[in-house]
Structure formats: structure tokens, C-alpha cells
Amino acid sequence: MNQRAFTPPAWSISDREFDQLSRTIHRYSGIVIGPEKRGMIRARLQKRLVALQLDTLAEYLDIVSGVSGRAERERFVSSLTTNVTSFFREKHHFAFLVEAILPALGDTTRPIRIWSAGCSSGQEPYSIAMSVLDAHPEMAQRLSILGSDIDADVLAKARRGIYAGSSLTGISDDFRSRFFEPVEDGRGTDLRIRAQLRDLVTYQQINLNAGWPISEKFDVIFCRNTAIYFAPQTQCLLWRKFHDVLRPGGWLLIGHSERVPAECHHLLQPAGITAYQKPG
């Protein structure tokens, strides 16, 4: 017998409910949800109400606000995150990595640690890995890259490392053949990051606005197009936390519309286009 599809009764979000939802999201993730997102929130909530077979938004709010609502809070925040990314996005940072940062690190023999914070589905950490392997293959042995995101779904994609051939627009034919292999699925349209590159990256679910399970320092942190969703005071806190986990002389690279404000420049000095350096 076919099970009838569950449809919650028609509903709308009251001002009070919207306020409660946006405060819950902000408290958990730091993400600011403005009133213009109301329509989008409603559409995403509709999916969650159907999945959980709930009749009212009030029931859903009880779940996400409750002490045992962590898993649902995570799922809800994941459904709201903007995960847009691409290989070699804002490519001046990869040129900066190769031309300015790696030569400075080449003078040392210690491990090189790079963090892609807010890495989405992995294109950013894999672009970092390709840049290093291409310019300084001898550094691969001491390179480790951490990719992190709040969203478990995008991290699963990043770990698989499989991408539609059509999404590899920023990648040269040379990089395509050296760093990707066809997926044996009979269709031949998807490409997988080669193991040599995948092995350089580990992934971890980290909420940038909660405690970080980080014990070692980084040489470079990419945190691009992620802090833009946070309030200015949350961003400031984040820049300070990045300063604390960078080595002296380490670099922070941020998105094109983000800035470390002047009051933090004693911690992170401007060092290029949306690039900052911790004093050595």
C-alpha cells in the first residue's frame, strides 16, 4: 500500500517566531539572518516539517530550542548555509601563496600546516594542495591541510572529492590530467581528485563560533567568504582567534568583501589584497 505523502497544514512565520529562529541560528553559528531571508527560511522549514511529520512551526521551535535539539539545530543551520565555491576562486590568493608565502616557508624544514576554514565542498583546500604540489613538489612530504566547515553535508562531498567535469572551469588541462582521474561510473562525466592530493587534506567539522579542537599552530589560514555572514563583533572575535592559532609570521587570507579592521592591525598587519600577516 502506498503511504500518503505528509503535508503540513498551511502555515506562516509570525514576527515572534522569526525572531526566535534567527536568535537560535545566531547563537549556534554566528550567522546573521536578516528579515529579507524570511521566504527562504520558510521554504527550508517546510522541508524539515515534512521530514519530521510536524504540524506546526511551534512544535519545530520546541525541538530546535530544546536541550536535546542539537542534531536538528545542526541540520537546520546546514540547510541555511551558503556553500557556493569553486576551484581557484579569487585566484590572486593562490598566486600569493606560490610567489610570496611558500618561498618564505621553503627556508625552513618543519611541517607546513594550512587551514581552509569554511571550506565548503573541498574546492578551496584542493586548490591549495594543487598549488603547492605544482610549484614545490618537494614540500608535499611536510604539508598538511585542514579543511573545516560547520556543515556535515558539504564535508562529506569534500571527503569524496568527486566533481562534475563541467565545474572544473578554473582548471588548466595540465592540472586536470595531473590531479584528477575519471570516475569509473560508466558515464565518464565526473572526475575524482587523485589520492596523492586527497591524502594531503583532512576534514573536520568545526563551528568557527564555538570552541576549536586545534592544538597546533598554522602557517596559513584561508577563511574566505565565510565571515561575511557574521556580525561585525563576531568577525572581530574570529580575527583574534585566528591570530592566536597562527605562527608568528603566519598569514590570514580572507574573502574579497571582508576586511580585518584597523583596530586589529597590530595583531594582523595588511600584507596584500585581503591578505594579513601576524607580526613575526
Segment interacting with ligand SAM, rule: CB under 6 A, options 101-109, 149-157, 190-198, 268-276: 149-157
Query: How many whole angstroms separate alpha carbon 73 and alpha carbon 80?
Result: 11
224 known ligand binder: yes
The nearer residue to ligand SAM, 194 or 241, going by C-beta atoms, is: 241
User: Helices 70-80 and 38-52 meet at what angle, rounded to 10?
Assistant: 140
List the catalytic residue out of 149, 151, 192, 219. 149
2 known ligand binder: no
The nearer residue to ligand SAM, 89 or 113, going by C-beta atoms, is: 89
Residue 142 CB partners (closer than 8 Å, separation 6+): 109, 110, 111, 112
Q: Which helix (H) or strand (E) holds 26?
A: helix 15-29
**DSSP code at position 47:** H
Q: Which of residues 37-96 bind ligand SAM (CB under 6 A)?
A: 81-85, 89
151 is a contact residue toward ligand SAM (CB under 6 A): yes
Query: How many whole angstroms separate alpha carbon 280 and alpha carbon 266?
Result: 11
Long-range pairs of 46-51 with CB within 8 A, sequence gap ≥ 24: 46/8, 47/79, 48/72, 48/75, 48/76, 48/79, 49/8, 49/11, 50/6, 50/7, 50/8
200 is a contact residue toward ligand SAM (CB under 6 A): no
Query: How many whole angstroms separate alpha carbon 242 and alpha carbon 234?
Result: 12
Binding mask 176-195 for ligand SAM (x = CB under 6 A): --------------------
**DSSP code at position 230:** B
Residue 181 CB partners (closer than 8 Å, separation 6+): 191, 192, 194
The nearer residue to ligand SAM, 129 or 150, going by C-beta atoms, is: 150
191 known ligand binder: no
275 is a contact residue toward ligand SAM (CB under 6 A): no
Binding residues with ligand SAM: total (CB under 6 A): 25
List the catalytic residue out of 38, 42, 44, 159. 44
149 among known catalytic residues: yes
The nearer residue to ligand SAM, 133 or 158, going by C-beta atoms, is: 158
44 among known catalytic residues: yes
Dihedral, CA of residue 73, residue 76, residue 81 and residue 83, to nearest 10: 110
The nearer residue to ligand SAM, 11 or 229, going by C-beta atoms, is: 229
Q: Which of residues 113-142 bind ligand SAM (CB under 6 A)?
A: 118-120, 124
Q: How many CB atoms lie within 10 A of CB 264?
A: 17
Q: Which of residues 202-261 bind ligand SAM (CB under 6 A)?
A: 207-209, 224-226, 229, 255
30 is a contact residue toward ligand SAM (CB under 6 A): yes
C-alpha cell at 64: 530546535
Binding residue numbers: 83, 85, 89, 124, 149, 207-208, 224-225
Binding residue numbers for S-adenosyl-L-methionine: 83, 85, 89, 124, 149, 207-208, 224-225
Which residue ranges make up the site for ligand SAM (CB under 6 A)? 29-31, 81-85, 89, 118-120, 124, 149-151, 154, 207-209, 224-226, 229, 255
Active site residues: 44, 149
